Each structure stands twice: as structure tokens, then as C-alpha cells.
Amino acid sequence: MAKQFERIEAAHAAFIEQQHIFFTASAAATGRVNVSPRGTDAFRVLDPNSVAYLDETGSGNETAAHLRASGRLTVMFCGFENVPMILRLYGQGRALPRGTPEYAALLETAFDNQEPPGARQIIRLDIDLVQTSCGYGVPLFDYKEDRPTLRRWAEAKGEEGVAAYWRQKNVRSIDGFETGVEADQPAMVD
């Protein structure tokens, strides 16, 4: 049975901390709807009405494009272990590009100034609705470990290689919307 809340309650934050994966859903007024899985190691609850995640380089950049077009973003967590619950965070999101003062400030306060190789932007969501539902139909899965593949890929590409990849794959969405990643934006790789 779905329940709605105006903010992230303490029990919601505790549930989020126990998860290993979350999903983002975004769309512009036209074009495709995007749903992406992400690891929770880069997810932060900033306060009861805002969250952020450090976004790493991916095969596309649909979420950022959709945020520029409409701002709508939903984040979903599923309880695959223990508690059978689905938690959705609805609101307006925005991408904070690397190199901007807002990105630097949030990187410092929420992420201890730690950027993974290939960090692209921080996605911030201002929440206007939190919804929980039972999750009884969600199957049980056991968490094994995080995949190191993406970070190894970024390390192997190096800063210039990641920046070249952005120019090729991340400047526009699959529907042609601008993502906000500049073709000459430098990548960060340690």
C-alpha cells in the first residue's frame, strides 16, 4: 500500500543507506524515457528534501539532457534484501557540471572532495514527494560486490581519453538534446 510523504523521514534515510543500487528515471516532453541503474556508493541524502549523486561517465548522458529539458527526475530504491519496500523520490533535478563552483562546493561538503575516475557531474534532486510502497513483488537478491570495471575503464582511458569519449558520446542525448557536457570540458582521472 503506497504512502506519501513531504520529505525523507529517518526510516527512509536508513533504508536508502542499506541499498546497493538505485534507479533514475527521466524524460523530456518528447523522445525516449530513460531509466538507469546506479551504485549507491555515490549517493548522498543532503537533507530531508534534497539528495545528490556523483555521476560517472556512461555510454550516454540521458539524465543530464532530460534535466536541461524538463527538470523532472525520479529516483527509485528497491529492497532486494530484508525489508520488502520500494521508495521513490520525486522532484526537480539539475546537473552540476565539473568545474563549476556549485559542483566544487557539493563535492567538498557531501563527497569529502573525493572524485572517482571519470567523474562527469553531480546530479542534485530537490524532492517534492517521497512515496513508499510494499515491494512484496520484488524478488530477493543477495549483494555480492561492486563492479570495478567502469573505474578501471576511466583509469585506462586517462583524462584526455575520457574527455574524447565525452565529445563523442556525452554531448547530446540519443534524441539529440544537449546534455550540458561541453565538448572541451576536461575529465578528471587519477
- pLDDT score, position 60: 92
- pLDDT score, position 68: 97
- pLDDT score, position 75: 98
- pLDDT score, position 4: 98
The CATH architecture one would assign to domain 3-137+146-169 is: Roll (2.30)
Closest C-alpha to 96, from 53, 154, 50, 133: 53
DSSP secondary structure string, 2-53? -EEESS--HHHHHHHHH-SEEEEEE--SSS--EEEEEEGGGEEEEETTEEEE
Residues of the chain with pLDDT under 50: 189-190
Can you give the residue ranges of every domain in the chain? 3-137+146-169
- Rounded to two decimals, what is the model's pTM? 0.93
- pLDDT score, position 82: 85
